[in-house]
């Protein structure tokens, strides 16, 4: 079963890791209510890859999730994450052509395929270890 492994929140131009987060779209003004997820595998690659691209240096997700299969996700699918309902608005992320990894290994790196983004449909509390359920 997919679960929340870690939670981070951007505040005052810095990231804070926390044990829980109340998701309220109005409080996520910088991201326009959009939240980001990365799989545990993707997060490990961000930390361990020898060749570092732009994402390795700049990307930080709100949620690291474990046991989540990106291949099972599609745009407009809804997820229950803790008490919150999130609608998937993007699966994967675009690579920048100037990225060192793209220049070296064309056409893309592994990390961008381990990320997805969502919009908050129902506000609520999300805690570490909360289950993530795909809703029908």
pLDDT of the residue at 114 = 93
How far apart CA 43 and CA 27 sit, in angstroms, is 25
Q: Is the pTM of this model over 0.85?
A: yes
Chain segment 25-79, per-residue pLDDT in tens: 766 555 566 899 999 999 998 888 887 777 777 788 999 999 999 999 999 999 9
Higher per-residue confidence, 136 vs 70: 70
Domain ranges of the chain: 3-135
pLDDT of the residue at 48 = 86
pLDDT of the residue at 123 = 93
For domain 3-135, say whether CATH 2.40.33.20 is its number.
Answer: yes
CB distance 117 to 90 below 8 Å? yes
CB distance 78 to 135 below 8 Å? yes
pLDDT of the residue at 52 = 79
DSSP 53-119: -HHHHH---SEEEES--GGG--TT-EEEETTEEEEEEEES-PPPTTSHHHHHHSS--SGGGGEEEEE
Nearest to 41 by CA among 135, 128, 132, 109: 109
Chain segment 74-111, per-residue pLDDT in tens: 999 999 999 999 999 999 988 777 887 776 666 567 78
């Amino acid at each position: 079963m997919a679960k929340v492994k870690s939670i981070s929140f951007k505040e005052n131009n810095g990231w804070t890791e926390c044990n829980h987060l109340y998701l309220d779209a109005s409080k996520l003004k910088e991201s326009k209510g959009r939240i980001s997820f990365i799989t545990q595998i993707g997060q490990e690659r961000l930390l361990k890859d020898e060749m570092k691209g732009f994402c390795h240096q700049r990307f930080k997700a709100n949620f690291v999730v474990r046991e989540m299969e990106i291949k099972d996700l599609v745009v407009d699918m809804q997820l229950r994450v803790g008490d919150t309902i999130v609608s998937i608005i993007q699966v994967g992320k675009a690579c920048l052509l100037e990225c060192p990894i793209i220049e070296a290994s064309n056409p893309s790196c592994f990390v961008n395929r381990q990320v997805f983004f969502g919009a908050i449909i129902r506000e609520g509390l999300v805690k570490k270890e909360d289950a993530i359920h795909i809703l029908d």
